[in-house]
């Protein structure tokens, strides 16, 4: 869990991990040099639950760096992700770990809902495919980061690209899918919070970053990149229309 000035929501996020029906977890929180009172909130949890660990960075390095720092510190076989403003449902870990074992796959994911600043449900993202390939993932990021769990015994510890301004999780899923399989479950197991100043809400920057992602990171040819870029834009427009309809 990367944290940067997360005092508004981090208590809710941490409690959603504590409330898991699966108990054998460790929560590694990496504070990215916060200036608010979130550390004080985290410290209360540290005193009450030894499964929660906090590392404080001296400088602000971004969420990818914080996630990678946590992955390096992790002792468990499975790596899962949760931002400090998002929420897991109580059966999340239990359900997805069972799926990982049943399918003998390297990566699993689920559907999730969308909430606003006051926890009001403003929509859902239901997975379209229960089994995705590398080529499927080129067309669209089918995996919400807050739902992903990967198996280090199958792929080793894999990290996010700290040079990317967005899509870093997307690139990680692609790297895993080059040689391994991924399975999803359409059950809603988490809540993704949309706030006005979040990076994911800056749609113009997202579009620019996607072109860079295709051409520079994946090194896809111009015309293929154009195809994937148009597909990405259309999917984004559909998602926005559906969200507006829900509201």
The CA angle 196-209-71, to the nearest 5 degrees, is 80
Note whether 34 and 46 are within 8 A (CB).
no
Q: Are residues 209 and 189 in the same domain?
A: no
pLDDT of residue 245: 45
Can you tell me the distance from the alpha carbon of 129 to that of 142, in angstroms, rounded to the nearest whole number? 8
Residue 203 pLDDT class (50, 70, 90 cuts): low
| Residue 93 pLDDT > 60 | yes
Helices vs strands, H then E, count in the chain: 9, 10
Strands 131-132 and 149-151: unpaired
Per residue in 102-149, pLDDT tens?
999 999 999 999 999 999 999 999 998 999 999 999 988 999 999 999
Q: Are residues 143 and 49 in the same domain?
A: yes
Note whether 194 and 144 are within 8 A (CB).
no
Q: Are residues 89 and 209 in the same domain?
A: no
Q: Count of domains in the chain?
A: 2
Please give the C-alpha separations between residue 113 and each of 70, 100, 184, 194, 240, in angstroms, as whole numbers: 25, 22, 15, 10, 14
Q: Are residues 41 and 96 in the same domain?
A: yes
Q: Are residues 238 and 218 in the same domain?
A: yes
Six token digits for residue 116 = 């606003």
Q: Are residues 137 and 242 in the same domain?
A: no
Q: Are residues 213 and 177 in the same domain?
A: no
| Residue 161 pLDDT > 50 | yes
> Which of these three, 164, 180, 201, is where a domain ends?
201
Can you tell me the distance from the alpha carbon of 192 to that of 66, in angstroms, rounded to the nearest whole number? 19
DSSP 73-124: H--SSEEE---TT-EE-TTHHHHHHHHHHHHT-SEEEEEEEEE-TT--EEEE
Full residue range of the structural domain in which residue 26 is found: 2-201
Q: Are residues 110 and 195 in the same domain?
A: yes
| Residue 235 pLDDT > 90 | no
- Arithmetic mean of pLDDT over the chain: 90
Q: Are residues 74 and 188 in the same domain?
A: yes
Query: CA dihedral in degrees (235, 247, 5, 16; nearest 10)?
Result: -90
- 208 or 7: which leads in pLDDT: 7
Q: Are residues 157 and 125 in the same domain?
A: yes
CATH code of residue 164: 3.90.550.10
Q: Are residues 87 and 186 in the same domain?
A: yes
Q: Are residues 68 and 115 in the same domain?
A: yes
Can you tell me the distance from the alpha carbon of 166 to that of 93, in angstroms, rounded to the nearest whole number? 26
**pTM for the model:** 0.86
DSSP 159-207: ---TT-SS-HHHHHHHHHHTTS-EEEEEEEEEEEEP-TT-GGG-HHHHH
């Amino acid at each position: 869990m990367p944290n940067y000035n997360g005092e508004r929501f981090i208590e809710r996020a941490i409690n959603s991990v504590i409330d898991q029906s699966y108990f054998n977890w460790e929560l590694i929180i990496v504070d990215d040099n916060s200036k608010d009172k979130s550390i004080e909130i985290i410290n209360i949890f540290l005193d009450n639950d030894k499964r929660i660990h906090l590392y404080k960075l001296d400088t602000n390095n971004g969420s990818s760096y914080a996630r990678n720092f946590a992955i390096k510190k992790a002792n468990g076989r499975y790596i899962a992700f949760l931002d400090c403003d998002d929420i897991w449902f109580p059966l999340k870990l239990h359900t997805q770990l069972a799926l990982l074992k049943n399918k003998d796959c390297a990566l699993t994911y689920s559907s999730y809902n969308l909430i606003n600043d006051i926890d009001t449900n403003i929509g859902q993202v239901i997975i379209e495919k229960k089994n995705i390939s590398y080529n499927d993932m080129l067309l669209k990021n089918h995996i919400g980061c807050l739902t992903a769990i990967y198996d280090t015994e199958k792929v080793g510890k894999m990290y996010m690209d700290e040079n990317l301004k967005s899509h870093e999780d997307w690139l990680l899923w692609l790297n895993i899918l080059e040689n391994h399989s991924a399975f999803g479950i359409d059950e809603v197991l988490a809540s993704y919070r949309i706030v006005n100043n979040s990076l994911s809400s800056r749609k113009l920057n997202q579009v620019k970053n996607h072109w860079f992602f295709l051409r520079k990171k994946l090194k896809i040819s111009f015309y293929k990149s154009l195809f994937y870029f148009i597909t990405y834009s259309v999917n984004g427009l559909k998602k926005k229309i559906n969200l507006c309809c829900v509201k």
